Structure 1
Amino acid sequence: MRRLGSVQQKIPCVFLTEVRAEPSRKRDCQFQVVATDNVNPVALDANIDCAVATEKVDGTCCYVTAHKGKPYLWARLDRKPTKQADKRFKVYQYSQKTCKGFTWNVEEDFRAVPDSWIPAHRVQQENGHPIPDEHGHIPGWVPVEKTNKQYCWHASVVSYDAEVALVLRPYCENEDLLEIASVPLADLMEQTLELIGTNVNGNPYSLGSKKHPLHVLVPHGILRVRNAPPVVYQQLYSWFQECQDGCVEGIVWHCNDGTLIKVHRHHLGLKWPNGDPFLNSRPVVIHMDMMEYNQDSLSDSQQNLLNALSRFNGHHFNSLREIHLDA
């Protein structure tokens, strides 16, 4: 199985999009971007018909790369425009029905970011400086430190002393079965992953509880879409509406040349979440042996989560939502 691409920039929609003057289903603004039925030339150039279709998981993006001389988890942090600059951008986008042609002053129009911030690899640069994408953002990353409460849920799924992360993936011996396991951070180097769980994006997968939160990392591209529909607007629309496999946030296609292409339910005017997500229809097994770890090397949040999961080592569950850490 070939290793699929990592998310290092905003991913284009598989269809050409247009701006409509109606409230967004996804963001707090008075316009929304919707798909037309015309396939994006970027997708055609990347030979999308031969691409690997994977489930788009609803969480927050992360990245594993070196920091302080060892593998580290990084959280997604896009450098965004100031309120005044963002207002100018939205007015232009609404009036022109496009964002092309808008001029940014990167030095003055964007908010400050931490010194440790790095731009995502595929961000375009001019004169050695990263420049905004068509959405007005500069995608980037900051290292996850256990002392930073803003990223406490990120920190709960990784131990830098043990150099492991909690990962959700298909079980190697049975692709129909999901597995929650500790994975060496070194094995995840230069990969991007999605953090999902109790306190991320409204928890559409019903993981954990407020008192006993549960979060895991899902490597991008790891959940293949079987029998994916062809890239035709109406067929994709019907698949999302009528098929159990279509109860997902979206699809990300991994093309042979490394290009990533996506479609989100919102692009097609469809609600998300909508009923029980397909991810919750799959059984899951936990492989977590605390004997592998030095208890003194784990922070409270890491120790609590690893200990809680280790009590279920080898246990099978019918669904992710059935994993109750207080049981």
Structure 2
Amino acid sequence: MQRPGSVQQKIPCAFATEVRDEPATKRANQSFRVLATGQLSLKALEADIHHAIATEKVDGTCCYVAKYKDLPYLWARLDRKPTKQAEKRFRKFQSSKTSTEFTWNLDDDFRKVPDSWIPAHGVVQLKGRSQPDENGHIPGWIPVEKDCKPYCWHVSAVNYETGSALILKPCSEKNLLEITTIPLMELLEQTLELVGTHINGNPYGLGNKRHPVHVLVPHGSLQIEKPPTLNLTDLITWFEESQEGKVEGIVWHCTNGILIKIHRHHLGLQWPLPDPYLTARPLSISVDLTTCEWDFEAKSSFLVLAKLNGKQFDHFKDIPWDEAGS
């Protein structure tokens, strides 16, 4: 598994890719598509992908748990990005295809970030300064404070008074998922994916606008039981015909800590899907607040899920969110 808390500058595709001059299906306003070829990439081979652990790529937003003000906190992903002028200069350099190296002015070329911002593990440091990656970004994190409106949905998945987080994870029973609370302290230095009502169009149908629900999924926790072989034809067949293949993609956790991925869009396949694999799995809910002395906000994810405490559903998608929120 990758070192907890780290963010690869850019997780490479398992296969060599080619760029086609046609509109992207994943990103709006992108005039080109990146598609996988039939040959495994050099990075995948060097990372020994054949002996890696295949896990489900979850469609959410990346988070990190680390100490802040001497307490375990949830951190949101925040990359330092170039200013408009610097971005324009960088793109012009990229299109020129010169062999010289682009020079950044770290003081003037990047947008300001809060003093609490920290660079992600793995960001190159030179003379104590964080260096941008090949895309011109400096990956990093910002702590999610309780009253931080831009990250209100992140806040809904944690409670700093009780020091707990809402987690979606596999249960010991075969194929069963569980939403439960665990101490933030147990998640220190781990990265997770925030999913829910207001994240990426809510492909998993968690909650609704009246009763929003957001939970965290630890990276690498949803292992694929019967992964396809590393053959492009077999992968496409698996994504199209297997129930377990109704996922956004695969992330391989290699033994040297490197992550390698394949996204459905790399294969020209649709995402999101009307019935993803995650929502077809049985789910139990274990969110007991009866002994909790703290008050929660009216639309707290903790409160909505607590009303479903002890219940199990044959399918994730069958949860009656309106009844739970009433």
Would you say same fold, with TM above 0.5? yes
Task: Evaluate the alpha carbon distance shift between residue 40 and residue 305 of structure 1 in structure 2; reply closer, same or farther with a 3 A threshold.
Answer: same
Higher percent of residues as helix: 1
Partner of 2:121: 121
Partner of 2:170: 170
Query: What's the offset of the Cα at 1:70?
Result: 1.1
Query: What's the offset of the Cα at 1:75?
Result: 0.5
The one-letter amino acid paired with 1:307 is L
Task: Evaluate the alpha carbon distance shift between residue 32 and residue 127 of structure 1 in structure 2; reply closer, same or farther with a 3 A threshold.
Answer: farther
Greater Cα shift, 149-158 or 38-47:
38-47
Query: What's the offset of the Cα at 1:260?
Result: 1.0
Aligned residue runs from structure 1 range 142-221, under 5 A: 142-172=142-172, 174-221=173-220
The one-letter amino acid paired with 1:112 is K
Query: What's the offset of the Cα at 1:95?
Result: 5.7
SS class of match (1:196): strand
SS class of match (1:321): helix
Query: What's the offset of the Cα at 1:65?
Result: 0.6
Q: For the residues of structure 1 that align with 2:267 and 2:6, how far apart are their CA atoms?
A: 22
Query: What's the offset of the Cα at 1:292?
Result: 3.5
Aligned residue runs from structure 1 range 262-301, under 5 A: 262-296=261-295, 298=296, 300=297
Q: Residue 211 of structure 2 contacts residue 304 of structure 2 at CA under 8 Å; is this kept in 1?
A: no
SS class of match (2:174): strand
TM-score normalised by the chain length of structure 1? 0.91
SS class of match (1:182): strand
Q: Residue 65 of structure 1 contacts residue 189 of structure 1 at CA under 8 Å; is this kept in 2?
A: yes
Partner of 2:304: 308
Q: For the residues of structure 1 that align with 2:298 and 2:40, how far apart are their CA atoms?
A: 45
Q: Deviations over 1:91-140 (max 9, x none)?
A: 444564x9995443333322111111111001122222112222222111
Partner of 1:45: 46
Q: Residue 6 of structure 2 contacts residue 121 of structure 2 at CA under 8 Å; is this kept in 1?
A: no
Partner of 1:261: 260
The one-letter amino acid paired with 2:304 is A
Q: For the residues of structure 2 that align with 1:89 and 1:260, how far apart are their CA atoms?
A: 27
Query: What's the offset of the Cα at 1:14?
Result: 1.1
Q: For the residues of structure 2 that align with 1:6 and 1:36, how far apart are their CA atoms?
A: 31
Is 1:18–2:14 an aligned residue pair? Answer: no
SS class of match (2:122): coil
Q: Residue 228 of structure 2 contacts residue 235 of structure 2 at CA under 8 Å; is this kept in 1?
A: yes
Partner of 2:235: 236
Is 1:318–2:314 an aligned residue pair? Answer: yes
RMSD, aligned CA: 2.2
SS class of match (2:189): coil
Q: For the residues of structure 2 that align with 1:112 and 1:259, how far apart are their CA atoms?
A: 30
Task: Evaluate the alpha carbon distance shift between residue 194 and residue 187 of structure 1 in structure 2; reply closer, same or farther with a 3 A threshold.
Answer: same
Q: Residue 119 of structure 1 contacts residue 138 of structure 1 at CA under 8 Å; is this kept in 2?
A: yes
Q: Residue 4 of structure 1 contacts residue 221 of structure 1 at CA under 8 Å; is this kept in 2?
A: no
Task: Evaluate the alpha carbon distance shift between residue 86 and residue 167 of structure 1 in structure 2; reply closer, same or farther with a 3 A threshold.
Answer: same
Q: Residue 89 of structure 1 contacts residue 99 of structure 1 at CA under 8 Å; is this kept in 2?
A: no
Greater Cα shift, 38-47 or 185-194:
38-47
The one-letter amino acid paired with 2:293 is N
Q: For the residues of structure 2 that align with 1:45 and 1:184, how far apart are their CA atoms?
A: 37
Task: Evaluate the alpha carbon distance shift between residue 99 and residue 230 of structure 1 in structure 2; reply closer, same or farther with a 3 A threshold.
Answer: farther
Query: What's the offset of the Cα at 1:218?
Result: 0.3
Q: For the residues of structure 1 that align with 2:160 and 2:48, how far apart are their CA atoms?
A: 40
Task: Report how many residues are paired.
Answer: 321
Q: Deviations over 1:41-82 (max 9, x none)?
A: 221112111110000000000000100101110001111122
Task: Evaluate the alpha carbon distance shift between residue 239 and residue 103 of structure 1 in structure 2; reply closer, same or farther with a 3 A threshold.
Answer: farther
Task: Evaluate the alpha carbon distance shift between residue 236 and residue 5 of structure 1 in structure 2; reply closer, same or farther with a 3 A threshold.
Answer: farther
Q: For the residues of structure 2 that align with 1:238 and 1:99, how far apart are their CA atoms?
A: 41
The one-letter amino acid paired with 2:254 is C
TM-score normalised by the chain length of structure 2? 0.91
Partner of 2:73: 72
Aligned residue runs from structure 1 range 103-118, under 5 A: 103-118=103-118
